[in-house]
């Protein structure tokens, strides 16, 4: 990556990886969506797959992105965040919070999340 390349974005879900956790999340979304703990997941995913509008937005960003569950992030980066979900941006070896959980949680849909991301990366 050259100095002119954009810094990668890291999207961290407020959910752990694994089949059991995925099945539990699906059930939670179906049975009690208002108490689901990951608004990033709720906005960007349907019950079984990523929403097309979200995938298209990510592809047109022109920035490398990484999507991780909370446990994957903590294992890979050896650190934790005080709240999840979170969007981070790599700055050399450091990670800076681009969007905090409180900001993500205020979003109602992909359009509002997209606007936040676009504003944050300018």
Instruction: State residue 90's pLDDT score.
Output: 86
Q: State if pTM tops 0.85.
A: no
Bond prior to 85 in cis (omega within 30° of 0): yes
- 81 vs 103 pLDDT, higher one: 103
Structural domain contains residue 2: no
CA-CA distance, 10 to 24, in Å (whole number)? 24
Q: What is residue 93's predicted lDDT score, i.e. its pLDDT? A: 81
Residue at 114 is within a domain: yes
Asked if residue 80 is part of any domain, the answer here is: yes
- Does any domain span residue 4? no
Instruction: Indicate the pLDDT class of residue 119, thresholds 50, 70 and 90.
Output: very high
109 inside domain: yes
Domain enclosing residue 79, as ranges: 9-121
For the chain, the domain total comes to 1
- Residue 1: per-residue pLDDT: 46
Is 64 a domain residue?
yes
The CA-based angle 11-14-20, given to 5 degrees, is 115
pLDDT-based confidence at residue 2 (cuts at 50, 70, 90): very low
Whether 99 shows a pLDDT value over 80: the answer reads yes
Position 115 scores a pLDDT of 95
Residue 113 confidence (pLDDT): 95
- pLDDT average, residue stretch 5-12: 85
**Is the residue at 71 inside a domain?**
yes
Is 1 within a domain? no
């Amino acid at each position: 990556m050259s100095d002119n390349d954009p810094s990668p974005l890291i999207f961290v879900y407020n959910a752990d990886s694994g089949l059991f956790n995925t099945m539990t999340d699906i059930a939670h979304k179906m049975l009690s969506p208002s108490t689901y703990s990951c608004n990033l997941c709720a906005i960007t995913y349907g019950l079984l797959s990523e929403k097309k509008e979200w995938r298209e937005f990510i592809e047109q960003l022109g920035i490398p992105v990484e999507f991780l569950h909370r446990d994957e992030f903590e294992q890979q980066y050896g650190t934790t965040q005080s709240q999840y979900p979170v969007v981070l941006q790599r700055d050399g070896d450091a990670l800076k919070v681009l969007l905090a959980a409180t900001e993500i949680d205020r979003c109602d849909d992909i359009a509002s999340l997209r606007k936040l991301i676009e504003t944050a990366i300018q």
